[in-house]
Amino acid sequence: MFQAKISALLITGGLLLCAFQGVATAEEPKPLIVCSTTQVADFARQVVGDRMQVRSILAPGQDPHLYEIKPGDAKIVAQAVICFDNGWHLEGNDWMRNLANTAGIKIVSCTTGCKPLELEDQGQKIHDPHAWFSPSNAAVFVRNIRDALVELDKEHEAEYQARTQLYLDQLRTLHGWILRQVNTIPRDRRILVTSHDAFNYFCREYGFKAATPIGWSTGSELGGGITPERRKNTVDSIKRYGVKAIFVETSVNPALIREIAKDAGVEIGGELYSDSMGGPGTAGENYLGMMRENVLTIVGSMK
């Protein structure tokens, strides 16, 4: 009888220990990766899976050029094991790099190794930071993230490599699909008018001419912002080339592009995801979806 009681106690004790162990494991926080933009965060998620937690400082629809640091951002960055930004000054006044440097956290710029498009303004050359709009540059972003994570967490290298391999194949498929879609529009009709100069890499890759009233940045950096000359040139280009539709961007105020559409007598072809992806549950909530929806909007309006 006594032995049976001891056994029952031991079994109950063991079960309780296992249960507490389970609770303790479930509550253990995962290492945190902090990214500046939603695109960079998506690429990081594709590589790291559920192994780490990924957070983006920018919310869907926010403009990285104009973003102003909030008090909570420094706290989030301080908890990170690594940070990723886009680089080439997409983040206005390098806010993400400043946050990471202040917290003493390593930061990796995803544009490292991309072939830059150079914009010239007032005699100065600037690297266009919107490199992710070419899937082959997105592949560079993903490889940079993978390399940094492998260096950080060598133990799970095989996992990061395997996820990267699959995602690069998806980017290759995306590229082939965009080529097929864009091929249905005659080359001389491929003119893309958007709010700001975000689509230059897309235009270079897929044979479009770009025209925008605002420079490469919606902010007041060199080469950024709207000038009367740029606005006039955009309206003239739309009229001269017989552009059928122009596009507003999800992260830029649409008022200006609506005025230009009115002045030039063209339709708004739709809304494009540009410096930020869509919110959760939208078709553009990840990079592949964002690019797919943009291409469908552009091609659909130009046919």
Maximum distance among all Cα pairs of the chain, rounded to whole angstroms: 99
Q: Which of 274, 294, 282 is CA-nearest to residue 58?
A: 274
Nearer to other proteins, 64 or 135 (CB): 135
Q: Which is nearer to other proteins, 169 or 236 (CB)?
A: 169
User: Min. distance of Cβ 157 from other proteins in angstroms?
Assistant: 12
| Separation between Cα atoms, residue 169 and residue 282, nearest integer Å | 23
Q: Which of 115, 239 has the CB closer to other proteins?
A: 115
Place of tokens 């957070």: 55
Amino acid at residue number 246: I
Q: How far is CA 45 from CA 16, 33, 238, 256, in A?
A: 35, 9, 39, 34
Least distance to other proteins, CB of residue 18, Å:
40
Q: Which residues are near other proteins by CB under 8 A?
A: 113, 135-136, 139, 143, 161, 164-165, 168-169, 171-173, 175-176, 179-180, 183, 206-207
Structure tokens at 138: 């997105």
Please tell me the distance from the alpha carbon of residue 206 to that of residue 196, in angstroms, as a whole number. 18
The interaxial angle of helices 157-182 and 38-48, nearest 10 deg, is: 130
The whole-angstrom separation of Cα 65 and Cα 63 is 6
Please identify, using beta-carbon distances, which residue of 139 and 238 lies nearer to other proteins. 139
- Shortest reach from residue 136's CB to other proteins, in Å: 4
Residue (of 218, 226, 200, 223) closest to 125 by Cα position? 223
Contact (CB, 8 A) for 291 and 178: yes
- For 121, residues 6+ apart whose C-beta sits below 8 A from its C-beta are 215, 222, 223
Q: Please, what is the minimum distance in Å from the beta carbon of residue 166 to other proteins?
A: 10
Shortest distance, CB of residue 77 to other proteins, whole angstroms?
Answer: 29
| For other proteins, the closer CB: 173 or 220 | 173
Query: Least distance (Å) from other proteins to the CB of residue 141?
Result: 12
Nearer to other proteins by Cβ, of 173 and 253: the residue is 173
